Structure 1
Amino acid sequence: MNYKEKSAEWLAKLPKDDPLYIELDEIVKKSETDPNAEADIEDRFYKELSFGTAGLRGKIGVGTNRMNFYTVGRATQGIADYIKGFGQDAMDKGVVIAHDPRHFSKEFSKYTASILAANGIKTYVFPDLRPTPELAFLVRRLGTISGINITASHNPREYNGYKAYWDDGCQVGQEIADGMTECILKVDYFNGVKKTDFDEAVKSGLITVLGPEYDREYLDKIESLSIHGGDEIDLSIPLVYTPLNGAGSIPFTQMLKDRGFTNWHIVEEQKDPDPDFTTVGYPNPEAPAAFKMSEELGKKVGAELLMATDPDSDRFAIEILTDSGEYVPLNGNQTGYLLVNYILEGHKSAGTLPDNGAMVKSIVTSTMTTKMAESYGVEMFESLTGFKNICGRIPFLEENKFQYLFGYEESVGYAACIDIRDKDGISAGMLVAEAAAYYRKQGKTLWQVLTQLYEKYGFYDEYEPNMVLEGIEGAERIGRMMDYIRSNPPKEIAGREVVNIIDYLNGSEDIEHPENKIPGTNALRYFLKENDENLKESDTWFSIRPSGTEPKIKFYFYTKQTSREKALEANKEISKAVMDIINAVE
């Protein structure tokens, strides 16, 4: 069926008192005179909201390409059918469900639980919103077959999403996602979903509401990651934290209390859940604008460190105080430098650095930390983006007798705990706050530590722009961009020879570790030769890939030079040359 036929089917089958019917009826009537309304209908129905390794993600509203009770119900019934295919043992292991503060998140989570219960699958739910990493932790802790989180992470307020996990505590990989998708596609939106009453399922024991003891276990696990404490750290360091109106408020502040920090402050306007994110707009801690209120509070209280988590508390970002007294935002790579250094340096000084230590970063994350890890005798492995891939390398590491120490990627995601197999803003926050307090005791700031790292390992620069191209036309243009640069590989960029290209479309090998096979993905990576004789080795490269969860094409530019100023200038030249090529593709 085309989009018109699909919209007509939904209009015919939706109950007349359903808000989605009213929404669609108004748009259809408006489309008779307004071409924009017709385009809106097409965008809502030209495809189904696809289920993949990132689960579902889309705007809330009526349509097959939207998040609503019908798309959520269909996905859940498909997953229930997939689980039932593994037998009664899998059904008894059950599914744990969490949600973030967004519009309909709680309603979608209860509906999801009701569908699973109707299918005879044991289900665990939280009494209210919880961080994504706590869900990932409890999949393994409770021994469930799967986990589901209703969240759109850091997307704008119009969005919601649906993340699926498997029994290893990671988001589902491709094989499982494909199996779930096959089951989902067999379910009819309107007649194929089994449902039961949520409260009745709780009474019968098919749905269990989790108690606060599980929150405590999650925090205990995080706090066990501590490297330094007591007199080694200055617990009076002034800190500011904002949960950006998300799920982090209670667990993050409880963690600070547990660790004994005495001078922390929370942004009151952003403390409580707000599905409209009124005070921040776009609730992505990667965006410096998200720190506006934190900076204002930080200046009042003299904070050395500003910290933020996104709405589901898996992403974590910081701003630090420079020697000149100004706050500067760090990108995910730079925060990664600080964390990798603190973990390696800390374990070495404590005598707990293993001989077989390993870390994991994504293929689009800076190679500076590879050099850092090597200097401590630790192996740095690469994976595809996303923590289903980063934490998904843990079984490989264990099989090969490595001890996992840390995993991260440039998009402000960090996984420090082997038992929490997803990015975790709470544990990252604890380690960064601890590091700041540790260095303060030594008379240093995080800014000074970062500067010293550049001086020790090389002057790197990291630049990660992206282009937002929404709708059908945007998706098609992104496809043309990737096709063009793949078919017309540049021989030089900004006067630098292209010496190697990795096309990950059909999979690849980790450059440093050939045994670490990297699955296929739509990404390209270009390595350039620097002409500066003062550089001992070239470490300049860039990567291009479409986002898997947002209507974006992403770019990653990295370079190492003999000074920070030269690094900034080099990336400016290289990025301009690449963007000129891309922008020419209509």
Structure 2
Amino acid sequence: MDYKTEYQRWIDCPTMDATLKLELSTMEEAQKEDAFYTNVEFGTAGMRGVLGAGTNRLNIYTIRKANVGFAKYILTLPESKEKGVVIGYDNRHMSYRFALESAKVLATYGIKTYIFESLRPTPELSYAVRYLKCAGGIMITASHNPKEYNGYKVYDDTGCQLIPEWGQQVVDFVNEVEDELNIEVCSDEQAEAFITWVGEEVDEAYYKEVMAIEFTPNIDKSDFKLVFSPQHGTSNIPVRTVLGRLGYDIIPVLSQCAPDPDYTNTLTPNPEEARSYDKAIAKAKEVDGDVVVICDPDGDRLGVVAKHDGEYVLMSGNQSAAVYLEYILSRLQDAGKLPSNAVMYNTIVTSDLGELVANHYGVEVEKTLTGFKFIGDKIRKYEKTQEKQFIFGYEESYGCVIKEFVRDKDAVQAVLLAAEAGAYYKKQGKTLVDVLNDLYQRHGTFKESQIALSKAGASGAARIKEIMENLRQNPPTSIDGVKVVASEDYQTSKRYEGATEIDLVIDKSNVLKYFLEDGSWIAARPSGTEPKCKFYFSIIGKDVEDAATKTEGYHKAVLEIIGE
């Protein structure tokens, strides 16, 4: 793809959007190359990228191209024009405009749309697809990415992001579009006949489902304080409404409640980064809060900080999920309501601790590839066969779902669970960290961490590819002096134990995983949403200090192996 030719095609376009035209006219050569050296990738669940002019950017033209592909896919489904598509959007720059552009493209193909009257969290979009019995859904969001990004995610009729089999059909239709600058789009007036605006009815139905999750109804909340931040995103109204109605003392970080696309009052909107909690922890110290919760901008991920021994302790996604599991399963068991065929889902890069908690209660665990669509697809399968009963699903990246009326990560559900568990254990004289430490005593001490190497642009993409290829061609036999006893390559669907090859029954993905002699494991995968190569560490030690020391050694060893 010749970036100079593509750039010239765009700047010469007589109908070019005026704002994009101005950006094009001021681009330096390096900017031109990055904006046009490739097309913004439409993966099997949608696309995410930097906003701006260019084929490698998100703008009205690349959004239209994506919608042509999705529209053609929707038309392959029965009664899809009348069933229609629900469209949601978050607080980011261009989100509302992209939602309207999506509706106009679908209207051009005769497809009815339902658009939320204002911003809503991603899990409510998933719920709305099911509630309105639509053929699919679209969510305009870049989740926890920086303010320069936006994105486009597509959903099936169950509210689940499209699994690869169906997502590839959309990709194929998208790739058929040769000229994104001349896509036929109906006028605003013509689109009106196909658009229905939705709001309070769906909100109330969703709130009702979330509130019904309670495992300990009427729990005493009188001395429990929850500090909450939506990080300038979509979860502000849903979370405060649900927990307020249930009687929780929820204390908002008011400076982070406005839906600001520039995230003015947060260092980062990503709950995976410790600095995103600064203002929330400051508020907790001011009011003596028990638990701090922050949602990412589109309200599908939740980060948790628990007060423990006078300090505020940040819990990882793996740690908080293990505590949620302990609370859910122990409460169900105490009530005699734990199904004999219960199943929990997590992914190949989540800690082993959650699996050990589930197994302790006799709950089966099934692992999927990274991506909540795989968990949603598992729920769909057993919903039909009734062979197993879903009990919980989560990823290490701070996302979980408790009840299957949503088929994506749901931070609104998770906030309720964190609050309920926090209040319940406080009555027992325990913090959430105490519960985690109890789990370590029972199952072993785990330390989970990540290295995320940012590699932007064409050279960055090449470097990420090189790292993965080198690991495949020269697999490590030991890491930090500890023997690799087995490895798994999800691209070839093989597990290697010495000279033995074992077939893996799981979808293919560019992921490598190394199992170490001490019970730890390390995995490598390119991010599907950011220009990063990620390394996941699940390290087991004799105690917290030992696990931390070993983790430091493994981090250093991996960077040496890959030459960083």
TM bucket (normalised to shorter chain) is over 0.9
Measured in 2, the distance between the counterparts of 1:103 and 1:458 equals 45
Give the corresponding residue for 1:8: 8
Give the corresponding residue for 2:476: 490
Match of 1:241 among 200, 212, 228: 228
**1:515 positional shift:** 11
8 Å contact from structure 2 (residues 493, 503) kept in 1: no
1:524 aligns with 2:495: no
8 Å contact from structure 1 (residues 233, 434) kept in 2: no
Pair 1:16–1:425, CA change in 2 (3 A): closer
4+ aligned runs moved over 4 Å, structure 1: none
Measured in 1, the distance between the counterparts of 2:5 and 2:83 equals 41
Identity value in percent: 41
Pair 1:235–1:457, CA change in 2 (3 A): farther
Measured in 2, the distance between the counterparts of 1:583 and 1:222 equals 47
8 Å contact from structure 1 (residues 469, 551) kept in 2: yes
Match of 1:112 among 91, 95, 102: 102
Match of 1:548 among 517, 525, 528: 528
**1:176 positional shift:** 1.7
Give the corresponding residue for 2:48: 57
Measured in 1, the distance between the counterparts of 2:226 and 2:16 equals 53
**1:506 positional shift:** 2.5
Measured in 2, the distance between the counterparts of 1:346 and 1:85 equals 45
Measured in 2, the distance between the counterparts of 1:140 and 1:508 equals 36
Instruction: Give the match's secondary structure for 1:472.
Output: helix
Measured in 2, the distance between the counterparts of 1:559 and 1:99 equals 38
Match of 1:572 among 541, 552, 556: 552
Instruction: Give the match's secondary structure for 2:224.
Output: coil
**1:400 positional shift:** 6.3
8 Å contact from structure 1 (residues 362, 408) kept in 2: yes
1:288 aligns with 2:274: yes
Further displaced range: 457-466 or 89-98: 457-466
Question: Alpha-carbon deviations, 1:76-123, whole Å to 9, x = none?
Answer: 122112222335x11111100000000010111011112212221010
- Which 5+ residue runs of structure 2 have no aligned equivalent? none
Match of 1:371 among 339, 353, 356: 356
Question: Alpha-carbon deviations, 1:282-337, whole Å to 9, x = none?
Answer: 210111111111111111100011100011000110111121x1112111101111
Matched to 2:65, the amino acid is R
Matched to 2:306, the amino acid is I
**1:15 positional shift:** 3.0
Matched to 2:329, the amino acid is L
Match of 1:301 among 271, 283, 287: 287
**1:350 positional shift:** 1.6
Question: Alpha-carbon deviations, 1:545-578, whole Å to 9, x = none?
Answer: 1100001111111122222211111222222111
**1:51 positional shift:** 0.9
- Which 5+ residue runs of structure 1 have no aligned equivalent? 28-36, 531-538
8 Å contact from structure 1 (residues 234, 441) kept in 2: no
1:83 aligns with 2:63: no
8 Å contact from structure 2 (residues 235, 299) kept in 1: yes
**1:397 positional shift:** 3.3
Pair 1:14–1:524, CA change in 2 (3 A): farther
Measured in 1, the distance between the counterparts of 2:421 and 2:184 equals 50
8 Å contact from structure 2 (residues 422, 431) kept in 1: yes
1:350 aligns with 2:341: no
**1:190 positional shift:** 2.2
Give the corresponding residue for 1:418: 404
Pair 1:54–1:14, CA change in 2 (3 A): farther
1:471 aligns with 2:471: no
**1:143 positional shift:** 1.4
Pair 1:369–1:429, CA change in 2 (3 A): same
8 Å contact from structure 2 (residues 51, 58) kept in 1: yes
Question: Alpha-carbon deviations, 1:269-290, whole Å to 9, x = none?
Answer: 1011000001114210111111
Measured in 2, the distance between the counterparts of 1:560 and 1:365 equals 13
Aligned residue pairs total: 558
Matched to 1:266, the amino acid is P
Give the corresponding residue for 1:31: none
Give the corresponding residue for 1:533: none
Instruction: Give the match's secondary structure for 2:182.
Output: coil
8 Å contact from structure 1 (residues 468, 552) kept in 2: yes
Instruction: Give the match's secondary structure for 1:216.
Output: helix
Measured in 2, the distance between the counterparts of 1:347 and 1:16 equals 59
**1:495 positional shift:** 2.0
Question: Alpha-carbon deviations, 1:460-499, whole Å to 9, x = none?
Answer: 1112121111111111111111111111111111221111
1:218 aligns with 2:206: yes
Match of 1:48 among 39, 44, 51: 39
Give the corresponding residue for 2:215: 227
8 Å contact from structure 2 (residues 493, 504) kept in 1: no
8 Å contact from structure 2 (residues 140, 153) kept in 1: yes
**1:169 positional shift:** 1.4
**1:54 positional shift:** 3.2
**1:145 positional shift:** 1.1
Q: Please list, as runs of the form range in 1=range in 2, the aligned pairs for 1:164-563 lying within 5 A after superposition.
A: 164-187=154-177, 188-197=179-188, 201-202=191-192, 204=193, 206-230=194-218, 232-261=219-248, 263-323=249-309, 325-398=310-383, 399=385, 401-507=387-493, 517-530=505-518, 539-563=519-543
Give the corresponding residue for 2:143: 153
Measured in 2, the distance between the counterparts of 1:392 and 1:555 equals 25
Question: Alpha-carbon deviations, 1:370-401, whole Å to 9, x = none?
Answer: 11111101001100011001222113334361
